[in-house]
Amino acid sequence: KPTHHPALVVKNLSKSFGGVNAINDVSLTLDTGRSRVMIGPNGAGKSTLFNLITGEIPLDEGEVYIFGEDVTKAPVQRRGELDLARTYQISNLFHELTVEENLYLALQGKSWELSHILSSFTSWFKNKDRLNRVRTVAESVALKENLGTLVSNLSHGEQRQLELGMALAPDPKIILFDEPMAGLSPNERIFMKKLIARLASEKIILAIEHDMDFALSLTNDVTVLHGGAVIAEGTPDEIKQNEDVRTIYKLQNA
Ligand code: ADP
Ligand code: MG
């Protein structure tokens, strides 16, 4: 893979659900070695944009490239092979399995079909390399002491850390974070912010997150999505001063 290609290119993407224009002609580039934060009010189309980038839902128009490869029509799996991973706004964990088991499954990629799960359990004890990798990932999200804990017995903050671990397990280069700090307590937020800021030195991150302090700790590149379109791009300071952005957020809070 030639390195002069940007990590991710989204070109003139559009997507409607029935009459709703959820994404309208959105273009976006993630350069290698740079992260970006995306903000925008509820319903702006942020999660939909992620679903289009990963291929979880089909696009109507536009193109997507990962490290130069045209993946516009490629399945989710291919995009994973090209080192793209994501976290979810809504929990995507197996609650009746342990931390270790969840991470082990995440190593198999993002294919959650039953046959896949069964075959990975059959080979569970055979693959030392995978178990070592699971431990390394657990350590990187501060869950090494919780490997044998059922997900349902983890705190909310620990569950979000595990979700981060699930995305990290296949060692991706690009990670899309969908509101990683949602629902966290102030202390958990501080912890998660540090965890993600540390990751940003090794990974290319596109994070949906409203906290401007978070944005500042991660990057100078902020994109604002509103009504399915990019309405502003700039540094966190520029975004804070932007009149359109201020108006939108005032309307939201009114
Ligand atoms: P955000 O993540 O910015 O809050 P979403 O991407 O979830 O926004 O939603 C953008 C718009 O698309 C909303 O109007 C939402 O109702 C609509 N939408 C999202 N997913 C679907 C779907 N699967 N079917 C129908 N409408 C959807
Ligand atoms: Mg969303």
> How far is it, in rounded angstroms, from Cα 73 to Cα 63?
9
Check residue 120 and give its pLDDT.
Answer: 57
Residues of the chain below pLDDT 50: 110-112, 115
Check residue 217 and give its pLDDT.
Answer: 80
Tokens matching residue 179:
């509101």
Tokens matching residue 95:
């609650």
Tokens matching residue 12:
């003139």
Check residue 110 and give its pLDDT.
Answer: 45
> How far is it, in rounded angstroms, from Cα 237 to Cα 230?
17
Give the containing element (helix H, strand E) for 114.
Answer: helix 114-122
Ligand 1 atom closest to the CA of 178, numbered from 1: 2
**How far is the centre of ligand 2, averaged over its atoms, from the C-alpha of 23 (Å)?**
13
Q: Is there a contact between 224 and 209 (Cβ–Cβ < 8 Å)?
A: no
Check residue 119 and give its pLDDT.
Answer: 58
Check residue 124 and give its pLDDT.
Answer: 54
3-state secondary structure of 79: helix
Check residue 111 and give its pLDDT.
Answer: 45
**How far is the centre of ligand 1, averaged over its atoms, from the C-alpha of 13 (Å)?**
15
Determine whether the shortest distance from the Cβ of 46 to ligand 1 is under 6 A: yes
**How far is the centre of ligand 1, averaged over its atoms, from the C-alpha of 80 (Å)?**
23
Q: Is there a contact between 25 and 229 (Cβ–Cβ < 8 Å)?
A: yes
Check residue 56 and give its pLDDT.
Answer: 95
Using alpha carbons, select from 174, 152, 134, 8 the residue that is nearest to residue 91. Answer: 152
Ligand sitting nearest the alpha carbon of 38: 1
Check residue 158 and give its pLDDT.
Answer: 94
36 vs 46, 81, 96, 254, CA distance in Å? 13, 22, 34, 28
Check residue 88 and give its pLDDT.
Answer: 86
**How far is the centre of ligand 1, averaged over its atoms, from the C-alpha of 22 (Å)?**
6
Determine whether the shortest distance from the Cβ of 43 to ligand 1 is under 6 A: yes
> Pocket of ligand 1, candidates 15, 17, 52, 176: which has the most ligand atoms within 8 Å of its Cβ, to mutate?
17
Check residue 112 and give its pLDDT.
Answer: 46
Check residue 223 and give its pLDDT.
Answer: 95
94 vs 30, 54, 152, 179, CA distance in Å? 31, 21, 9, 20
Q: Is there a contact between 36 and 219 (Cβ–Cβ < 8 Å)?
A: yes
Ligand sitting nearest the alpha carbon of 40: 1
Check residue 136 and give its pLDDT.
Answer: 95
Determine whether the shortest distance from the Cβ of 47 to ligand 1 is under 6 A: yes
> Pocket of ligand 1, candidates 42, 48, 176, 210: which has the most ligand atoms within 8 Å of its Cβ, to mutate?
48
Determine whether the shortest distance from the Cβ of 22 to ligand 1 is under 6 A: yes
Q: How far is CA 117 from the centre of its chain?
A: 23
Determine whether the shortest distance from the Cβ of 174 to ligand 1 is under 6 A: no
Determine whether the shortest distance from the Cβ of 190 to ligand 1 is under 6 A: no
Determine whether the shortest distance from the Cβ of 42 to ligand 1 is under 6 A: yes
